[in-house]
């Protein structure tokens, strides 16, 4: 029974600590809201930082008058605009870096001299993208392993008989 009473006593102490922390947060949020409202009344350019806005929004229990509401609203709009501008700057910088990096890419080129002897007129990939079939003016159909850049098969097209 003594162990049970000790457990209950520790639970009560934890509950009191949590209530004390909650009261501290509420009092702190109310004090910050009041301070920023007074500063805003003196200088209309005063804004509440976003992390403080979050604390005030979450914990303050003061009834907000017109001055507090205006301070809170203008600070929120200002903070959201700053975040939006920062996101745009980061996106723009990312695009510029990506464009710069893509221009400087070098590709290894492999010239294939074992292909058509005349102009290739048509080239088609297989549905899985592994094979390439090309047809040229030299009457050859060549099937390529595209990944390895190798010729797999060469077929000769014979002339079709003309239909009268």
Please give the residue that has the higher pLDDT: either 67 or 8. 67
pLDDT at 134: 92
Calpha distance 47→68 (Å, rounded): 11
Please compute the mean of the pLDDT values over residues 119-147 and round it to a whole number: 90
Token code pair at residue 7:
């457990």
C-alpha angle 125-128-129 in degrees, rounded to nearest 5: 40
pLDDT at 45: 87
Nearest to 63 by CA among 72, 50, 76: 72
From residue 56, alpha-carbon distances to 33, 67, 69, 73, 78 in Å are: 6, 15, 12, 12, 16
pLDDT (tens digit, 9 = 90+) per residue, 21-75? Answer: 888 888 888 888 888 888 888 888 888 888 888 888 888 888 888 988 888 889 9
- Does residue 53 contact residue 22 with C-beta atoms inside 8 Å? no
pLDDT at 81: 93
Helix (H) or strand (E) holding 130: none
pLDDT (tens digit, 9 = 90+) per residue, 91-124? Answer: 999 999 988 877 766 666 666 567 888 888 899 9
Calpha distance 105→125 (Å, rounded): 25
């Amino acid at each position: 029974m003594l162990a049970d009473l000790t457990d209950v006593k520790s639970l009560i102490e934890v509950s009191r600590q949590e209530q004390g922390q909650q009261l501290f947060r509420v009092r702190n949020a109310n004090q910050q809201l009041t301070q920023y409202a007074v500063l805003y009344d003196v200088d209309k350019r005063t804004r509440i930082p976003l992390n403080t806005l979050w604390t005030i929004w979450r914990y303050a229990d003061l009834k907000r008058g017109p001055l507090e509401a205006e301070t809170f609203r203008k600070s929120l709009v200002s903070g959201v605009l700053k975040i939006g501008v920062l996101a745009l700057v980061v996106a723009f910088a990312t695009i510029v870096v990506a464009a710069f990096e893509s221009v400087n890419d070098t590709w290894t080129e492999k010239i294939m001299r074992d292909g058509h002897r005349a102009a290739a007129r048509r080239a088609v990939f297989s549905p899985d993208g592994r094979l390439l079939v090309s047809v040229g003016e030299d009457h050859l159909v060549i099937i390529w392993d595209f990944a390895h850049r190798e010729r797999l098969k060469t077929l000769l097209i014979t002339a079709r008989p003309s239909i009268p």
